[in-house]
Chains A and B, each alone.
Chain A
Amino acid sequence: MSQMPQQTAPSKCPSCAEPLEPGDLFCGACGHDLSAGPQDHATLMMRDALAMEAGPEAARETTPEAGPEPAGEGVGWPSAERGSSSAGPAAHLPTDLAGTDSGGRTLAGGAHAQQAAETSSGVRFDRPGPGEEYPLQAPDPRSAPDHPDTVPTELLCVACRAGRVDGDGYCENCGHAQPRERDHLERESGPVAAVSDRGLRHHRNEDFFSIGHTALPDGTPAALAVVCDGVSSATRPDEASAAAARTAGEVLLAALPRGTHPQQAMHEAIVAAAEAVDALAGEPVSAREHTPHQNSPACTIVGAVVTPGLLVVGWVGDSRAYWVPADRSAPAARLTEDDSWAAQMVAAGLMSDAEAYADERAHAITGWLGADAYELEPHTASFKPDRPGTVLVCTDGLWNYAETAEEMAAVLPSDATGRPLHAARVLVGHALDGGGHDNVTVALLPFPAPPEGAGSA
């Protein structure tokens, strides 16, 4: 195609980068409404989106600087940090979501103004300080999704639509298990977003994640994400991944504001996550007594921390982190090295990449968190990217469908920084379209960590 149409109408979907036909009103892949925005999306979109981010962020930057201070410097930090690790991210979710959504969707007109209004109202809400934060921090955002699942008000079975659902989640008519909360999870925390899905072939979601954002002692922002994949051949893999992801997330949210170096914090987080998973094996669950031959709960872990200047990753197992520069002409990169049979074969020079990953043993992992792990070897690495981009942490349920960094970059929407939740959904959708053979979990973090307006509560 010539460049002309590109200027009048986008040649690629601004949302998912799917090639478009002239005259398309909606993207054939993701359904993005192409009529909504101006025509020069494809190229200008990103920069504008970044500018948009920078705009409100810059506006926020001044407020949060005032924000943390009332919360107290030095002595006040621990309480601030606790707040941000528990309810803080959720509390900021509505404002952040509204800002990025409108920012990502349209760049002009009323929406812009509306977005600005929302942003400024968001700033105002933060400004009054801690007193006003508690109403926002009320557990509503988190417990709200729980309630519809647990309150059995005339729940009809999703399978037969005839039976009521019993207290234990099965239809009293056809017996089918009802969707569980973990089947599909979506979260946003500041600039970070994550999506986890059961996939199409597994009966439950054994992946888990935690995301968060906070501030370093010098006030600069930090964002983090942890993704864990339960080992299916072990007992209670879903509990293992949940324990590991929660623990690692909490450790990072506690350590970073204290000034612990992010790489050291990542190491500590993985060690703590491993201990949490080990502890599961010791729990005297009655079911375990009946099946003593089953091995201890186990999972993989991958985490990332971004600050304005630093990108740190850490992992055990075959969950991965990728780096995708905002400027797609620059090369993307895989940041982690699997603890897997395939990776070992390749590293030892015994097999080519293609041969190793075609083998049925490819996914046998050689490192994991769990009481029966040989020796815990947390891998961590620090990077100082010279340009902005997106850090992508995911389980093999995603990278099975986009193995190389180039493939992953190709499926990552170009506006991932501005609309991380949407981008994470697109990535999960890519895995499901490919067959969804495993649980799929992905978290996206922008680099550099944007100045945290609503930030540290």
Chain B
Amino acid sequence: MANFAKPDGPRFAVDVYQNEYLPEGGREVNAIVTVTSTGGGTVGATGAGNAATAPAAAVVLMVDASGSMDYPPTKMRNARDATAAAIDALRDGTRFAVVAGTHVAKEVYPGGGRVAVADGTTREQAKHALRGVGAGGGTAIGTWLRLADTLLAGADVSIRHGILLTDGRNEHEDPADLKAALDACAGRFTCDARGVGTDWEVKEVTGIASALLGTADIVADPEDLAADFTRMMENVMGKEVADVSLRVWTPDGTTIRFLKQVAPSVEELTGRRTEAGPRTGDYPTGAWGDESRDYHLCVEVPAAGIGQEMLAARVSLVVLQGDGTVRNLGEQGLVRAVWTEDVEASTSLNPQVAHYTGQAELSRAIQQGLDLRKRGDIDGATARLGRAVQLARESGNADTAKLLAKVVDVVDAATGTVRLKAKVAEADEMTLETRSTKTVRVTK
């Protein structure tokens, strides 16, 4: 349908929400930049649906096959079933491969350092090959990622993605090795990471997803794996353009205090800048389908007199192409600074900025609270988690509020008065930690 009319992929709209008014001497400009990509609409399509128009994609499924996956045995079985479900969700024509991960990475399907092209036959072959995967050995996730990178690099596609499932800690590899593997893979493919059960390390899984611009989550009950894998695969199939960067121009004399994605989850981007010309930097955002994300940009500008106006930033979306050139995607958003003596104007908080400032603090409060709790600092943990409860209530983040209520007894949400629960299910605590970066958007 309309897809045929857009050979260049989705269109990006950039909306800026800010209070541009600063008091005399004011130097900090905050803005929420909402980026919305439209024009694709292939989310949820499976099978042959949009094969004709969708861009070519390649997916590598990395399944933990370490010895611990057999305790209980249902875990390995569920992982196989989930991978099979993901394979079923592959659109015809998509390149794919399955990797079993232990202390080394092993190709399960198709083998030979290649990827297969999804169709009825290859899907059945892959599922058949999966049945031969047994549990045994250690865990060295860096080796899995490097193999995935090799396989994906060999595919002539525009969208490269990995899905990684683990149930344990990355014990058979130095943390520096995983870090080096992530650095090597960053920008080459995107990757979703899932922890199954409760024996894995939250920071490892979220770190992988963060470095590779994917999502992280817990699948506490192996029974739920298949549904989650199907959702992830559908999400990948909906991607239409990869290697999209947020390009930010800021004038001479200004400093970017921070740039972070704030919806659908908090992701710090400040340190990921690559210079892209005078006063211009690019921040990676990965692949996009039909979706909308929010970014919080904070710029420090030189103080100016009352009545002055300046542009604090231009924000646009660019796609970095293989030949090193850059394609602009849609219009740009302008972040302005206007100095006024109208106190009412300069002191009012933009609702979006206030909302996401609170959401970012909520995420921080949860992580700090859980860290303090692990270290036995009960007072500190109570204070931080109490603040989190208060913020979750204020910003209407009901999901996070529910997760918090499994870790603390809420006495009064409005004031943030809580008591730590004496007994907390490990899965509940890990779920809270993994999902602490999830945000909700401003209620309109």
Which residues on A are within 8 Å of B, measured CB to CB? 159-160, 162-163, 168, 170-177, 198-204, 232, 290, 437
CB distance A201 to B306 under 8 Å? Answer: yes
Q: Is the CB of B251 within 8 A of A203?
A: no
Q: How far is the CA of A318 from the CA of B254 in the complex (A)?
A: 41
A-B contact pairs, 30 of them (CB 8 A): A163-B252, A168-B334, A170-B310, A170-B311, A171-B311, A172-B249, A173-B251, A174-B251, A174-B252, A174-B310, A175-B254, A175-B301, A175-B310, A176-B251, A176-B309, A176-B310, A176-B311, A177-B308, A177-B311, A198-B307, A200-B307, A201-B340, A201-B341, A202-B340, A203-B307, A203-B308, A203-B338, A203-B339, A232-B342, A290-B15
Residue of B249, B252, B253, B334 with highest tally of chain A CB at under 10 A: B252
Q: What would 17 more interface pairs be, CB under 8 Å, given A159-B310, A175-B310, A177-B310? A: A160-B252, A171-B251, A173-B251, A173-B252, A174-B252, A175-B252, A175-B301, A175-B311, A176-B308, A177-B309, A199-B307, A201-B307, A203-B309, A203-B339, A203-B340, A204-B309, A290-B17
Judge whether B307 and A202 touch: CB under 8 Å.
yes
The answer, yes or no, to whether B312 is at the interface (CB within 8 Å) is: yes
A421 to B17, CA, bound (A): 42
Within the complex, what minimum Cβ distance (angstroms) separates A120 from chain B? Answer: 46
Distance A290 CA – B333 CA, assembled complex (angstroms): 14
The CB with the most chain B CB atoms within 10 A, among A162, A176, A200, is that of A176
User: What distance in Å separates the Cβ of A392 from its nearest Cβ neighbour in chain B?
Assistant: 25
Q: Which residues of A contact B279 (CB under 8 A)?
A: 173
Are A175 and B251 interface neighbours, CB within 8 A? yes
Which residue of chain A lies nearest to B301 when distances are taken between CB atoms in the complex? Answer: A175
Cβ-defined partner of A174 (8 Å) among B17, B253, B307, B339: B253
Q: Would you give the shortest CB distance from B143 to chain A, in whole angstroms?
A: 47
A329: min CB distance to chain B, Å: 40
Main secondary structure on chain A at its contact with chain B? loop
CA distance A202 to B405 in the complex (A): 50
Cα–Cα, bound, A199→B308 (Å): 11
| Residue of A whose beta carbon sits closest to that of B24 | A201
Roughly how many angstroms separate A290 CA and B350 CA in the complex, as a whole number?
12
Give A288 Cβ to nearest chain B Cβ, in Å: 13
Question: A199: which B residues are within 8 A, CB to CB?
Answer: 307
Report the bound CA distance from A188 to B337 in whole Å.
35
With the chains together, A168 CA to B306 CA distance in Å?
Answer: 21
Proximity string of chain B (237-273) to chain A, C-beta cutoff 8 Å, 1 when within and 0 when not: 0000000000001111110000000000000000000
Q: Kindly list chain B residues whose C-beta atoms are within 8 Å of the C-beta of A203.
A: 307-309, 338-340
> Once bound together, how far apart are the Cα atoms of A232 and B339, in whole Å?
14
Instruction: Note all chain A residues with C-beta closer than 8 A to B339.
Output: 203
B253 cross-chain contacts in A, Cβ below 8 A: 174
Give every chain A residue within 8 A of B15 (Cβ-Cβ). Answer: 290
The 4 closest A-B pairs by CB, nearest first: A175-B251, A170-B311, A177-B309, A175-B311
Residue of A nearest to B337 (CB): A175
Residues of A within 8 A of B251 (CB): 171, 173-176
A401 to B103, CA, bound (A): 82
What is the minimal beta-carbon distance from A86 to any residue of chain B, in angstroms? 32
Q: Which residues of A contact B307 (CB under 8 A)?
A: 198-203
Complex CA distance for A129 and B253, rounded to whole angstroms:
59
Give, as a whole number of angstroms, the nearest-CB distance from B153 to chain A: 38
C-alpha gap A175/B304 in the complex (Å): 12
**A397 CA / B340 CA spacing, docked (Å):** 16
Chain B positions 6-24 with a Cβ under 8 Å from a chain A Cβ? 15, 17
Q: Which residues of A contact B311 (CB under 8 A)?
A: 170-171, 175-177
Which chain B positions have C-beta within 8 A of A168? 334
Instruction: Determine the chain A residues whose CB is within 8 A of the CB of B252 once the complex forms.
Output: 160, 162-163, 173-175
